Amino acid sequence: MASVKSLTAASVLALSLTAGAAFAQTKTFYVAGYGGSFEQTMRQEIIPAFEKKHNVKVEYVAGNSTDTLAKLQAQKGNQQIDVAIVDDGPMYQAIQLGFCRKIDKLPEADLYPAARFKDDKAVAIGLVATGLMYNTKYFADKGWAAPTSWDDLKDPKFKKLVVIPPINNTYGLYTLLMFAKMNGGGEKSIEPGFKVMKDQVNPNVLVYEPSPGKMTELFQSGQAVIGVWGTGRVQSFANTGFPVDFVYPKEGAVTLLASACPIEKAGNAEMASDFIKAMLEPNMQLILLKDYGYGPVNKTVKVPAELAKMAPIGDRAAKLYNPDWDAINPQREEWTKRWNREVER
C-alpha cells in the first residue's frame, strides 16, 4: 500500500499539472475601445459570454479613438490588441495603415450598406448622430427655448457654459467642420471654421473636455449647460435620470459610425471576428440602442417606439451629413496642431 506521504505528493503533482494545463489554455484577448458607459455595456453584455465560449480572459483597454490608433501605431509589428473599436475617421486610418484584417463570414445580407467598410476590414456596430445636448431643466428655469442650431453655441448668454470635446475627438472635429461648412467652406476649405471657432465660439467655451466622465460631471455640477456630443453619449447620460436632451441642429447632425475591426496578428482571426459579429446580433444591437443610443446597423432589428427617441433611425438617419474622410484624414494632423495653437490655448 502506498504511504499517505506518497499519495499526498502524487495528489499535489496531479493538481499542479491540471492547474498548469488550465492556465495554459486560458489566453488573454485584448479589446481596445471607448470608455465610460460603453465599456460597462461591453463588460456586462458581451465579454462574459465570449470568455466562456472561447476560454479566454478579455482585457478591455479603454480610450478615445485617437488613443487607440496611437496604441496600434506604437505596437506595429508586435500587436497586443485583438479588436479595436473606434470612430469611423480613425478606422479609415487604421485600415489604410494595414492594422485591420478581413472579418470572417460577416452577415452581409443583414447589414445596411453604410455599415460596411471596403473589403470588410471593419464594420460599423452602431450609427451615431453628432449634434447638441443641453440641460432641459436649466433652460426651462431660465425661460430659454431649446437650442436648434450650431450657431446657438455662439450666443453670448452661454458665456463659459459651453463644453466641447477637443479636436482629437471626433465630436470636436465635427464642430469645426460644421462651422466651416455653414460659412462657405468644408473638408477642403477649413478656414471659415477656424475663424468662427476662434472669434465667436471660443469665448463661450468653459473647457474642451475629452473625458466622457468629466463631460457629465460638468453638466451635473451646473458648470456647463450646453455642448456638443453624440446621441450615444447623451442617451447614456439621460438614462441616469439627468434632465438632458439631444438636438438635431437644423443645419444637420453629422454621421459618426462606431466601428470595429479585427487586428492583423497571428492566431486571433476567428476569435476576433466572433467578438465583432456578437455586437451585430439583433439582441446586442437593441442593447446598444437602449443603453447607448446607437442606431442599429442590422436591418433585421425591430426598434420599439420607446427606444427611438434620440437615435438616428429612419428619416433622421437619412438626413445626416456624411463627412468626406478621404479629404479630412490627410489634413487632420495639421488641423490638430493649428487648433492647439489658435483655439485651445
**pLDDT tens-place string over residues 70-86:** 999 999 999 999 999 99
Q: Which of 33, 64, 29 lies closest to 48, judged by CA?
A: 29
Q: Which three cell numbers stand for residue 323?
A: 463627412
What residue ranges define each of the domains in the chain, with the CATH number in brackets? 9-127+256-310 (3.40.190.10), 128-255+324-342 (3.40.190.10)
Q: What is the DSSP string of 257-317?
A: EEEEEEB--TT-HHHHHHHHHHTTSHHHHHHHHHHH-PBP-BTT----GGG-SSS--THHH
Which three cell numbers mark 183?
A: 460659412
Residue 131 contacts residue 249 (beta carbons within 8 Å): yes
DSSP 3: -
pLDDT single digits (tens) 189-241 = 999 999 999 999 999 999 999 999 999 999 999 999 999 999 989 998 999 99
What does DSSP assign to residue 197?
A: I
Please, are residues 238 and 245 in contact by the beta-carbon 8 Å criterion? yes
E strand or H helix that includes residue 51: helix 47-54
State residue 25's pLDDT score: 57
Query: What's the whole-model pTM score?
Result: 0.82
Residues 38-80 have pLDDT tens digits of 999 999 999 999 999 999 999 999 999 999 999 999 999 999 9
